[in-house]
Structure 1
Amino acid sequence: MSLAPLPRLIIEPLVRAALLEDLGLAGDITSASVIPSDHRSTVVMAARQPGVIAGLDAADLAFTLVDPEIVMRRHIEDGDAVKSGDVIATIEGPSRSLLTGERTALNFLGHLSGIATVTAGIAAAISGTKASVACTRKTTPGLRALEKYAVRAGGGMNHRFALYDAVLIKDNHVAISGGVAEAIRRARAGVGHLVKIEVEVDRLDQLQEAMAVGVDAVLLDNMTPDQLREAVAIVAGRAITEASGRVTPATAAAIAASGVDLISVGWLTHSAPVLDIGLDFVEAAGAA
């Protein structure tokens, strides 16, 4: 698949912060005391369960920021599917440094691969429909760029990245503004001409109100597949339709069959289980 990598400028501060958290004020006292300073090793990073990989750049940086002598040779790329036992990368370098960077590398790779894996599961469930699966802003603080990248690696799409790049009028905005139409009018008057406006509705009468004044996208919240079909008919192609709420691999197909354009799923990023990936010793290269 074609997947544009994140710039190192985005990834490096996150990996560096994670390493500093782990190393603290004294460094890796276990490896420093147990492993000779001139010892070198080769290790393999392997999948212990099937899934989709994401986060190899972060894992690579976790090692090379510890020690630029470490070399990681990838056997697959982000977005590739793996089976249990598949070797993801072979890593060579000073043994102390390999062990120091191991946990941070695996933390990033396992977490991001977990997100890519569950995203791929939803994408597979809605295959053959016009719908795409999208993430939300329900991300781990500080890791949004990486987690949204992992969604793309799994075949999903990104919703807005933050509060500044699109207008999303939610139920509380509507309540405070006095109605759907008034909230849309205020938003249109308050933002630039290139900013898209989406409004969340949970009733069809609210949807009718939104379409009467015009909007770029509608978030159809917690509607049944039958209600979604009716909503898609009301919109009639005049706006992007997004379904949200109660989405699981079991319900996704019926939601997609309603004809919506997008299905947004918060748990892709906030509750995806970590993909089990291990780092296994292959051989010692002895002294440098």
Structure 2
Amino acid sequence: YYWPGMTKDIVEWVGRCVTCQKGRKDVPLHPAVESKMDTLVEIKMDAPVEIKMETPVESKKTPAPPGQSRLPASPSHTPAPSTPGSVSSSRSLSSCPLLPDSTERRWQADGMTSRLDLSHLLPPPRLRQLVRDWLQEDAPAFDPAGYTVGDCPERAVLLCKSPGVLAGCPFFDAVFTELGCTVEWFQPEGAWLEPVARVAEVRGKARHLLLGERTALNCLGRCSGVATATGRACRLARQASWHGQVAGTRKTTPGFRLAEKYALLVGGASGHRYDLGSLVMLKDNHVWAAGGIAQAVQEAQRVAGFHLKLEVECRSLEEALEAAEAGSDIVMLDNFSPEDLHPAASALKAAHPRVMVEASGGISEENISQFFGPCIDVLSLGCLTQSARAVDFSLKICRETSVQRDFAF
């Protein structure tokens, strides 16, 4: 189905909602489709079909505010064109990664949270502060190489050269927005990318493109690597029909925690605590220094208030039971083998059904399936941020010559 003026962002909804509506009258149409029902034209999908779909004008774009992602994944993410008018782009429906017949290529099909606009979680002032610190680290004084290229306007294409989940788009946006450049995304955050994929296009002054290049690529590659590793772990949990949550840890790169925690969310996991003040976690050193679990819990409750949950790291079932008795909301069974973990968790739940049980330590993608169990509520993995391999991206300035086009695309 197609109507004049239809954008590529809504093709997916048309393919799904109208098809369902034909077979089941109780399935509601998406509002974007329902408003166009009287102008829909049926087209046959037996063969690839080329249609003209309107997209925003590529020139004279206004930079999005830091933290606002240009996600084309759904109608709610569609950015309004910064200037009136549009240009037509031709795309084969049979190869469109957002169509129902290509669902196996979409990472979101496995239940990842990237269908939501997670960029709205990021406070713009904090995002601006981060990218300014990153850029200042790379260029604290002169930029002689930037001097050689000057302020001539250029266009650069972002390419993905290794497979993975796209994550970190708001940080990439913020880097170039800080430098007065504009970014147009061709893939939604959370999409699975296969090399060589044309992911985005950046326009701006040559020296500004090159000044932000490495910082933006480092951030995007790191975030995408974390999201890719996280997505694999979450997929294993879903395949095992496990009811709990996969989570990250506080083992993050100094100065880069916000980006890595964001990538965990894009990958489908919980970010766990973001800092020392968002959850009271008493680790073994706290317990030893305080003189015992009961003493540590009592002192923590005195200052934590009603709004902060309390978690205690335990090395044995006896410690876990003591922590639950003392009033801990969450008990972490740390460095338990799978053989010891499940009996201990079962005994703890039997004695304290309302206590949340977390397992951590020694869990990886290779052995995570051994830790899934009915009495385990959370599995936290430090390897998601410590061992994730970055996705390889490159940014190539692309002038309108056949040689450059062939090289870039």
> TM-score if structure 1 supplies the norm length?
0.90
Identical amino acids, percent of aligned pairs: 35
Determine which of 209, 220, 227 is the counterpart of 1:98.
209
- Residue 223 (structure 2) aligns with: 112
Secondary structure in 2 matching 1:283: coil
Q: Distance in 2 between matches of 1:94 and 1:250?
A: 46
Q: How does 1:1-288 map to 2 (within 5 A)?
A: 1-5=115-119, 6-27=122-143, 29-33=144-148, 35=149, 37-38=151-152, 40-66=153-179, 68=180, 70-127=181-238, 128-236=241-349, 237-257=353-373, 259-284=375-400
Residue identity in the other structure for 2:260: E
Shift of residue 246, structure 1, vs aligned partner: 0.7
Contact 1:245 1:265 in 2 (8 A): yes
8 Å Cα contact 1:130/1:259 also seen in 2: no
**Equivalent pair of 2:313/2:331 in contact (CA under 8 Å):** yes
* Greater gyration radius: 2
Letter in structure 2 aligned against 1:48: K
User: Structure 1 CA distance, aligned partners of 2:307 and 2:371?
Assistant: 30
Change (3 A) 1:235 1:2: farther
* Distance in 2 (alpha carbons) for counterparts of 1:189 and 1:18: 39
Cα deviation digits, residues 113-146 of structure 1 (max 9, x gap): 1111111121122222112211111112222222
Answer 1 or 2: which has greater strand percent.
1
Q: Deviations over 1:205-247 (max 9, x none)?
A: 1112222333200111011122221122123232111110111
Q: Distance in 2 between matches of 1:11 and 1:93?
A: 20
2 CA distance for matches of 1:187 and 1:145?
Answer: 26
Q: Is the 8 A contact 1:47 1:88 kept in 2?
A: yes
Q: How many angstroms apart in 1 are the aligned matches of 2:124 and 2:222?
A: 19
**Structure 2: gaps spanning 5 or more residues:** 1-114, 402-409
Judge conservation of contact 1:55–1:113 (CA < 8 Å) in 2: yes
Answer with 89-98 or 168-177: which moved more: 89-98
* Count of residue pairs the alignment pairs up: 280
Counterpart residue number, 2:68: none
* TM-score normalized with structure 2 length: 0.65
Question: Could you tell me which residue of structure 1 aligns to residue 80 of structure 2?
Answer: none
C-alpha separation in 1, matches of 2:375 and 2:231: 20
SS in structure 2 at match of 1:78: coil
The one-letter amino acid of 2:195's match is: S
How far off is 1:200 after superposition? 0.6
Q: Distance in 2 between matches of 1:253 and 1:152?
A: 21
8 Å contact 2:317–2:348 — kept in the other structure?
no
CA distance, structure 1, for counterparts of residue 280 and residue 213 of structure 2: 41
Answer yes or no: is the 8 Å Cα contact 1:119–1:155 preserved in 2.
Answer: yes
The 3-state SS of whatever aligns with 1:49 is: coil
Output the CA distance in 2 between the equivalents of 1:222 and 1:123. Answer: 20
Note if contact 2:334-2:359 (Cα within 8 Å) is conserved in structure 1: yes
SS in 1 for 2:372: helix
SS for the counterpart of 1:126 is helix
- What letter corresponds to residue 19 of structure 1 in structure 2? L
